[in-house]
């Protein structure tokens, strides 16, 4: 057992490494299309170049992969020469990087028009106070002056005296600012340490968004699971013990039609019937009023998931039940004169449930896939919706992080499925 667990954990880790490399290489924004998406179609090449620099897209892919996985704060700390600290802004809840001055002050920097470096000291309420400009410039071997610090947006930044400019978004659009750094390190701790950086689409921490939305998706998936499984097992068993009779045919065909209708078809039909015609439930599950999600918001998404998932699990349970009912020991029990009910419940059921339980665990993978579509239809603010929106926008790091979460869920449920199978099946447990 210990050996099995060890092997599984190693295999999961290798899988995750492969998945992360695959995602990163595949999603690498090599043609800069995302820059056009962020800046708009009328942006100039200079604006795109500036943004690519600010997002560190101009560094080699290996470097970005390392940054993404284990973070780049340690690299920035070496360049700056001081410790960095991450502090939550009490006004917005965002996490912002500062240079830890060592004497209880947390600093960011900017360069003023006199080429002086101005420390911005963090105040208790999250705002900052400007101090006198100082000459903190360092000199490299060519005599050029440079300074590594953290800029006003919490990014690692390299200033020199070339008078570089940057493009920033303001309320009036994109503006060019003087006194900008020439190189940036978008600070993050890396996915391994629970920080995937900021989303390009929303500007918020990817990690916070993903955890918040994953918890909502978990609720939806859990509800669907609780509704689907008992129904599916009951119908599957009924169909299985009536193999070939009209009841079996009806259950199988209805299940097949349900499974063969894509989520968006059944979802739209549900909306049409329950939301537009009968006006029982809202068409959208988004929290529009700010009062939080009510139970009525969950009904249609769960029903849609049920329609699609039910047929599949019924099919598995039925097939397994049919197999078991053909086994010699069932025939023997029936011939022996044992009551039919007892044969089904005591002898057949235990053996028939083994296959569905492992397949159900594998099926969580499909459930998550279905949830992506259902959340997109009903605008349910979950992880699937986040994946979809990120994919549309081309927010590749957010997409990669969210996809990693779905993969982790998949490999862990598979592990649980294997464990359950091993525990339930004495033939494997004792071999």
User: Site residues (CB under 8 A) for another protein?
Assistant: 11, 14-15, 18-19, 22-23, 26-28, 256-257, 259-265, 268-269, 271-272, 276, 365-366, 368-370, 372-373, 376, 387-388, 391-392, 394, 396, 399-400, 403, 406-407, 410-411, 414
**411 vs 420 by CB, closer to another protein:** 411
Residue pair 74/81 in contact by the 8 Å Cβ criterion: no
- Cα 184–186–189 angle (5° rounding)? 140
Task: Please say which residue, 343 or 403, places its beta carbon nearer to another protein.
Answer: 403
Q: Least distance from C-beta 401 to another protein, angstroms?
A: 12
Residue with Cβ nearer another protein (18 or 192): 18
Q: How far is the CB of 422 from another protein (least distance, A)?
A: 18
- SS3 sequence, the chain? CHHHHHHHHHHHHHHHHHHHHHHHHHHCCCCCHHHHHHHCCCCCHHHHHHHHHHCCCCCCHHHHHHHHHHCCHHHHHHHHCCCEEEEECCCCCCEEEEEECCCCCEEEEEECCCCCEEEEEECCCCCEEECCCECCCEECCCCCEEEEEECCCCCEEEEECCCCCEEEEECCEEEEECCCCCEEECCCCEHHHCECCECCCCCCEHHHHHHHHHHHHHHHHHHHHHHHHHHHHHHHHHHHHCCCCHHHHHHHHHHHHHHHCCHHHHHHHHHHHHHHHCCCCCCCCCCCCCCCCCHHHHHHHHHHHHHHHHHHHHHHHHHHHHHHHCCHHHHHHHHCCCCHHHHHHHHHHHHHCHHHHHHHHHHHHHHHHHHHHHHHHHCCCCHHHHHHHHHHHCCHHHHHHHHHHHHHHHHHHHHHHHHHHHHHCHHHHCC
| Residue 24: CB minimum distance to another protein, A | 10
CB of 427 to another protein, least distance (A): 18
Contact in structure between 111 and 122 (CB atoms under 8 Å): no
In the complex with another protein, which residue's Cβ is closer, 15 or 165?
15
As a whole number of angstroms, the distance between CA 1 and CA 355 comes to 20
Q: In whole angstroms, how close is the CB of 34 to another protein at the nearest point? A: 10
Q: Given the complex with another protein, which of 326 and 342 has the nearer CB atom?
A: 326
Our CB check for another protein shows the closer of 195 and 375 to be 375
Q: Least distance in Å: CB of 248 to another protein?
A: 13
The CB-of-349 to another protein minimum distance in angstroms stands at: 24
User: At its nearest, how many Å lie between another protein and the CB of residue 285?
Assistant: 16
Nearer to another protein, 226 or 257 (CB): 257
Closer CB to another protein, residue 99 or residue 376? 376
Q: Nearer to another protein by C-beta: 117 or 376?
A: 376
User: Residue 369 CB, nearest distance to another protein (Å)?
Assistant: 3
């Amino acid at each position: 057992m210990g050996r099995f667990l060890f092997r599984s954990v190693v295999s999961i880790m290798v899988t995750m490494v492969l998945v992360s490399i695959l995602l990163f290489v595949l999603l690498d924004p090599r043609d800069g299309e995302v820059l056009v998406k962020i800046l708009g179609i009328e942006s100039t090449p200079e604006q795109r170049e500036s943004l690519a620099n600010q997002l560190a897209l101009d560094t080699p892919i290996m470097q970005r992969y390392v940054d993404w996985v284990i973070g780049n704060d340690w690299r920035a700390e070496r360049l700056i020469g001081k410790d960095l600290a991450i502090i939550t802004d009490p006004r917005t809840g965002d996490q912002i990087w500062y240079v830890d001055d060592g004497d209880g002050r947390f600093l960011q920097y900017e360069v003023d028009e006199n080429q002086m470096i101005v420390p911005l000291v963090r105040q208790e309420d999250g705002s900052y106070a400007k101090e006198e400009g100082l000459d903190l410039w360092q000199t490299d071997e060519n005599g050029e002056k440079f300074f590594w610090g953290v800029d006003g947006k919490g990014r690692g930044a390299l200033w020199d005296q070339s008078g570089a400019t940057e493009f920033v978004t303001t309320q009036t659009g994109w503006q060019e600012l003087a006194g900008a750094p020439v190189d940036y390190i978008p600070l993050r701790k890396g996915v391994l340490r629970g920080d995937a950086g900021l989303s390009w689409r929303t500007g918020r921490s990817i990690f916070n968004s993903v955890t918040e939305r994953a918890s909502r998706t978990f609720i939806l998936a859990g509800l669907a699971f609780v509704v689907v499984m008992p129904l599916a097992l009951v119908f599957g068993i009924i169909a299985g013990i009536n193999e070939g009779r009209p009841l079996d045919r009806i259950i199988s065909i209805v299940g097949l039609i349900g499974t063969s209708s894509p989520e968006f078809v059944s979802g739209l039909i549900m909306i049409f019937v329950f939301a537009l015609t009968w006006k029982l439930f809202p068409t959208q599950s988004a929290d529009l009023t700010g009062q939080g999600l009510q139970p009525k918001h969950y009904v249609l998404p769960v029903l849609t998931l049920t329609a699609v998932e039910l047929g599949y699990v019924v099919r598995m349970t039925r097939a397994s039940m049919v197999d078991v009912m053909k086994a010699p020991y069932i025939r023997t029990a029936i011939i022996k004169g044992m009551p039919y009910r007892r044969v089904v419940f005591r002898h057949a059921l235990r053996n028939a449930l083994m296959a569905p339980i492992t397949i159900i665990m594998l099926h969580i993978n499909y459930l998550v896939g279905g949830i992506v579509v259902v959340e997109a239809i009903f605008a349910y603010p979950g992880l699937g919706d986040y994946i979809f929106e990120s994919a549309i926008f081309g927010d590749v790091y957010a997409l990669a992080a969210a996809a990693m979460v779905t993969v982790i869920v998949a490999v862990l449920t598979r592990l649980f499925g294997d464990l359950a199978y091993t525990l339930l099946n004495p033939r494997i447990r004792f071999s």
